[in-house]
Amino acid sequence: MPGPAEHGGAGEYHVTVLSTEHAQQGHSHQMEGGWDEWMDNPVLRALLALLLVAALVTLVALAALWPDGSGRAAVQAEAATIGLAAERLEATVAEVIDGECAFSSEGNVWDCRTVVVTPSTGPDAGALLALPEFVEGSGVPVPEVSVGDAVVIDYEPTTGFYSYGDQDRRSALVWLFAVFAVVVIALGRLRGLLALIAMATTVAILVGFVAPSVLDGNDPVAVSVVAASVIAFVSLYLTHGFNPTTTIALIGTLLALLLTLVLSSVFFDLARFTGLATEEGVLLPVLAQDINMASLLLGGAIIGALGALDDVTVTQVATVAELKAQNPGLSRRRLISSGIRVGREHIAATVNTLLLAYAGVSMPLLLLFVVSDLSLAMIANSEIVAVEIVRTLCGSLGLIAAVPITTWLTAVLVSAGAPAEHGHDDDLGPAEEPAPAPEPERIQVSWDDFAPRDD
């Protein structure tokens, strides 16, 4: 426990820890060193060879599936042909009028809200435009706007028709992202900045590759697998550095993702999902007839599983490597046993997190199912719910598999060169007693001690 310093001014505190030089040397050796030990281990050499093959296949597939934009252009043209295409323009609310609807008659009076706006872009920029009336109590949401509010309006070039689109909330989103970026960089420093760059790269891959490639007619599952592989390579190495332990996390992620793909493919096929249970699922085939909606659902499940897998594998690698760094005398069996214990807690929390995440975005649907008075089994049988169940369970199985895979591989890496242990302890059998920790020395703790190392 920290206590007042025996020597020094008031307010100074000291804590008993390993010397900074020793801790950094041990951490650096275990976290950054190890390429020589890696090449000396036949298992790790084989895994590295498979990883290089996976990287090469990913690059070749990325080039083969790279979109040319023809599919996107065709869908845009089809949307314009059937009247679904509209431009979105910025506008400012000039007046809000509440009163009788224009179509009201004696004995049939309806209340309406008319929003008058001034577009800042488009063919009528600067002019006053009265948008179509909103009927109060009709079931159609009436926009809650005030004079001076920034809004977005829809404009159809073929008809010259304007309509209310949405609130302009972009400034709020920018401020939120700015706060998020500042907090991430303040705590993570260089590592936090790299994480933000990795996040931007992920968005670029999804928007610039996945969506256009699927619209070009490529198989959604193949596109999603390639995208997930690219995201895994880029985000892990960019955020955590090119080192042996990050490579272990990447291998564990890809192996668990492969398992998730196999399980999801089997159960998506057994469940006979169509992908047509949502409004967008019905609309998209109208605009792009060659898209397989069932495959698109499966591809989305693969990409969705990747985020949680990254979290689990990186945490397991960091946990096992840090255990070894803080106590180099820990045997491989002890490392695996301790890592699995941590992994159990992480998995228990993550599985529930996945369920709550899917349930949270489906709250309106959940309410509709409750008032329908259907049994729980019938609710689960509906495609829109069953899809989330299969995603959650298959993704969770991948997460569970990632724990022992990553833990064992990291223990092999950081224990390379140590003699093999025998016996039984706890879950794996008793092992030899760990070597005694070095004699601690008292040092003064500062805020920088809690910042992540940039190595």
Please give the structure tokens belonging to residue 237: 């190495």
Please report, to the nearest 10 degrees, the dihedral formed by the alpha carbons of residues 38, 40, 41, 46 taken in order.
80
Supply the pLDDT for residue 361: 67
| Cβ atoms of 288 and 67 closer than 8 Å | no
3-state secondary structure 151-180: EEEEEECCCCEEEEEEECCHHHHHHHHHHH
Q: What is the largest CA-CA distance in the chain?
A: 95
Residues of the chain with CATH 1.20.1640: 28-65+218-436
Enumerate residues 6+ apart whose C-beta is below 8 A from 74.
215, 288
CATH topology of domain 85-169: OB fold (Dihydrolipoamide Acetyltransferase, E2P) (2.40.50)
CATH topology of domain 28-65+218-436: Multidrug efflux transporter AcrB transmembrane fold (1.20.1640)
What distances in angstroms separate CA 145 from CA 101, 111, 120, 167, one per listed residue? 18, 17, 17, 8
Residues of the chain with CATH 2.40.50: 85-169
Backbone angles phi, psi at 52, to 5 degrees: -65, -40
The per-residue pLDDT string of the chain (455 residues; one tens digit each, 9 = 90 and over) reads: 444 444 444 443 333 333 333 433 444 343 444 577 677 778 788 888 999 999 999 999 999 999 998 888 888 887 777 767 788 999 999 999 998 888 888 888 889 999 999 999 889 999 999 999 999 877 778 889 999 999 999 998 878 889 999 999 999 999 999 999 999 999 988 889 999 999 999 999 999 999 999 999 899 999 999 999 999 999 999 988 888 888 889 999 999 999 999 999 999 899 888 887 777 777 787 777 778 888 888 888 888 888 788 888 888 888 888 888 888 888 888 888 888 888 888 887 777 776 777 667 667 777 777 777 777 788 778 888 888 888 888 888 888 899 999 998 888 888 765 544 444 343 444 444 445 555 544 445 454 544 455 54
Supply the pLDDT for residue 323: 87
Q: What is the pTM of this model?
A: 0.75
Please give the structure tokens belonging to residue 18: 């390993």
DSSP 8-state secondary structure symbol assigned to residue 429: B
Helix (H, G, I), strand (E, B) or coil at 244: helix
5-25 exposure pattern, b = at least 16 Cβ within 10 A, e = fewer: eeeeeeeeebeeebeeeebee
Helix (H, G, I), strand (E, B) or coil at 83: coil
Supply the pLDDT for residue 34: 57
Report CA torsion sign: 46, 47, 48, 51. Answer: positive
Element (H, E) at 390: helix 383-414
Supply the pLDDT for residue 250: 92
* Residue in the block written with tokens 């705590």: 187
Nearest residue to 284 (alpha-carbon basis) of 122, 74, 42: 74
Supply the pLDDT for residue 288: 79
